[in-house]
Chain A
Amino acid sequence: MNAKTITIANLTALVDDLVASGTCVTAPARAAGGKVDYRPITSFPEAAFNTELPRRSLKEFFLPPTEPLFSWRLGGPGIRISEVTTSFAPHVILGARPCDAAAVEILDRVMGWDYRDELWFGRREATTILSVACPGVDGSCFCTATGRGPESSRGSDVMLTPLGDVFLADVVTPKGETFVGENAKRFDDARGAAVTDGASRTSNAAAVGQPKLPLPEVQRWLAHGFDHELWSTIALACHGCGACASVCPTCHCFDIVDEPEGVLSGTRRRNWDTCQAARFTVHASGHNPRADQAARLRQRVMHKFWIYPSRFGEVLCTGCGRCARACSAGVDLPEVLRTITALAAPGGPEEAAV
């Protein structure tokens, strides 16, 4: 990594430069008296770095909750299709949390698997992500358990780490290199001391320290744990509302629906959907392979910690903890994982079964 530094004054000027050039800048920002979300800012003081986690992740900037896939219009005997663009205006995300930035890169795997999702990658290519090392949020955080941490630069193009009144700026990707090059006057070369100063990093890590999940054991248990009573026990509380999937930075299930606009035209859209919804898997015959909430809750855990890792080599979870915070029924994914870890432990109650 190339190390640079950037002062608060220069960050302020950088945002001004970007906004003046017509680039959309998104940062965690607090609505007046309200909650923190990633939202467009017009000046750096609007950004809020040392706060609770933004309510929603970065997912919506790459996979919007609803987006047109194409439009059609009846014309004469046939149908005319209007394509949607797959090239997008430059976008800078400033102050992404490492758990949110990592999620986007994890999702590149499925979005690029065999068939390349041009809408996803069009936005990915147009977007530069500058993350900020996370100060830690609360007891629902478990990024360290999923193998990353509050300084993880995964998914970031530039990684900012606060060092007193400046930020250390590590260039992570070629896109980050280009970005820093284009805005060179706002960055300074890092002095030796800044590069080697790891003090703030370790304190950050301690703030959200949770033991790393023994993923191979967890996956082995999940592969054989389909019929375990754990699922129905947890699901007794679950309402099946899908709030967990909505706020999740990696849940990416979607529906495809037609929305007629009058009689002669309309738009096909994709909308967020969730495996927690009862009708998600219903066959045309009425048969539902996942007929109860236990099966649906199990699917969410299985997909994140067994199916996705088996297919794409990494867990579909960055430990942001939003699902646990959002759940009105108190379903707590970190707790579920701790339970599974205990069940899967050598000498634990399930070892013989596995």
Chain B
Amino acid sequence: MNIYQPTLMTISDITDETSDTRTLRLAFQDPQLAERFDFKAGQFGEYSAFGAGESTFCIASSPTRKDSIECTFKAVGKATKAMRELAVGDTMGFRGPYGNHFPLDRMEKSSVVFIAGGIGLAPVRCVIWNVLDLRDRFDDVTVIYGARSVPDLVYKRELAQWAARGDVKLWQTVDPGGQTPDWPGEVGFVPAIVEKAAPSAKNAFAVVCGPPVMIKYTLPVLQKLGFADDRVYTTLENRMKCGIGKCGRCNVGPVYVCKDGPVFSAAELAALPAEY
């Protein structure tokens, strides 16, 4: 089995997050691999629909939940459209876990502020559940999540679960015009809501994922709130093929995103050329 050959997974569950975004739960067909498989929050994999090809997604489930992994994707290209055609019980391919991870060890005993936009909640959700499953190791947990409109919010059932918990401060927002009459959350772009929520930077880390424009305008807000840029983490979403540092596709300046990333601190990001 060469390094490009995937392991076989069975789709065990399908959740439609929005009209175009789907979450697949995948179980390892090889029981020994299921037992052995381990990963850290932030790592990614190459998922494939046989006949259509591979796509790169983060592992969206938490490493604290061992029985399966999940990925969340929009049907955009050839491979993701084919994945969307698959049903429970169908076989997919998976290679991974690859890349680095969020520094959960470093974040312990600190507060964590999660900020996500759109489908950018997928890599953040993995860390959120990781932190919530080990809740007593962390201080305050704040989640600030926005989407273009109410129907575009992903992981709605989990947002409801976090809202119901006393140990998570949840801010939900939609872009102006994206609200419904009964929308109880905020209306406004994510950076503005971060400013409004004004989470304390004291002994805190921030995890930020979303569209580049959201990240661009959120980082200065965090800076203003006092977050040092080596305590703010995000992920880069460069196109990849091999995922393991061979195919040359994900270079950003001196960095191979698949090997040195996908998780970078804002300080590391600032040192890179803007090729992401």
Contact = CB atoms under 8 A, between A and B. Distances in A.
Given A79-B8, A287-B212, A69 B89 contact: no
B4 A280 contact: no
A198 B276 CA distance: 51
Contacts of B65: none
Given A77-B89, A78-B29, A307-B254, A83 B2 contact: yes
Interface string A49-88: 0000000000000000000011010100111010110100
A111 B246 contact: yes
- Dominant SS among interface residues on chain B: loop
The contact size tier of chain A is 35 or more
Given A78-B8, A79-B50, A254 B2 contact: no
Interface stretch (B129-137, B140-148, B236-244): B236-244
A113 B245 contact: yes
Interface stretch (B35-43, B72-80, B149-157, B224-232): B72-80
A42 interface: no
A289 B50 contact: no
Given A281-B238, A284-B77, A78 B91 contact: yes
Interface in B261-276: 273-276
A252 B2 contact: no
Interface of A, secondary structure class, is mixed
A268 B4 contact: yes
A126 interface: no
B77 A254 contact: no
Contacts of A124: none
Contact of A81 (B5, B55, B246): B5
A283 B53 contact: no
Contacts of A268: 4, 48, 53
A206 interface: no
Contact of B251 (A70, A256, A257, A303): A303
Contacts of B249: 253, 273, 275, 280-281
Interface in B92-144: none
A310 interface: yes
A111 B248 CA distance: 11
Nearest to B260: A311
A253 B248 contact: yes
Contacts of A118: 2-3
A301 interface: no
B245 A110 contact: yes
Contacts of A302: 253
A258 B51 contact: yes
B51 A257 contact: no
B17 interface: no
A79 B30 CA distance: 13
B2 A86 contact: yes
Nearest to B52: A258
A290 interface: yes
Contacts of A254: 241-242, 246-248
A251 to B, nearest CB: 8
Nearest to B79: A258
Nearest to A299: B251
B54 interface: yes
B169 interface: no
Interface string B1-37: 1111100101000000000000000000100000000
A284 B76 contact: yes
Interface string B38-66: 00000000001011111100000000000
A212 B64 CA distance: 55
Contacts of B247: 253-256, 270, 273
Contacts of A281: 238-239, 249, 275
B212 A256 contact: no
A266 interface: yes
Contacts of A290: 275
A11 B251 CA distance: 45
A208 interface: no
Interface of B: 1-5, 8, 10, 29, 48, 50-55, 74, 76-77, 80, 89, 91, 211-212, 237-239, 241-242, 244-249, 251-254, 256, 259, 273-276
Given A254-B248, A275-B251, A303-B251, 15 more contacts: A78-B91, A79-B8, A86-B2, A226-B273, A252-B246, A254-B242, A254-B246, A254-B247, A270-B4, A280-B239, A283-B237, A287-B212, A289-B275, A299-B275, A306-B254
18 contacts: A69-B2, A69-B5, A74-B50, A78-B91, A79-B91, A81-B5, A84-B2, A113-B259, A114-B244, A115-B3, A117-B2, A118-B2, A254-B246, A270-B247, A281-B238, A283-B237, A283-B239, A302-B253
